[in-house]
Amino acid sequence: MNNCVEAASLGAGLLAVRDSKWAAGPALLLPSTAWCPFVALVRRGGPGLR
């Protein structure tokens, strides 16, 4: 499996996250305050991430 993501700060408290292998694809926009809880969930192998 080849999982690659990119995250970029857009300013105004927003982050964009996308699949780096599909640069023209959609990006997930989320508030910057959600980034740390999101990463923690992924690291724990949270619900739906196994």
Q: What is the torsional sign of CA 38, 44, 45, 47?
A: negative
Which residue, chain included where needed, has tokens 């809880």? 37
Residues in the chain, pLDDT under 50? none
Return the pLDDT at 5.
Answer: 86
Return the pLDDT at 42.
Answer: 83
Return the pLDDT at 3.
Answer: 74
Return the pLDDT at 43.
Answer: 87
Return the pLDDT at 27.
Answer: 92
12, exposed or middle or buried, with CB in 10 Å at 0-12, 13-18, 19+? exposed
Say what the pTM is: 0.68
Report the distance separating Cα 22 and Cα 17, nearest Å. Answer: 12
Angle CA 10–36–17, to nearest 5: 40
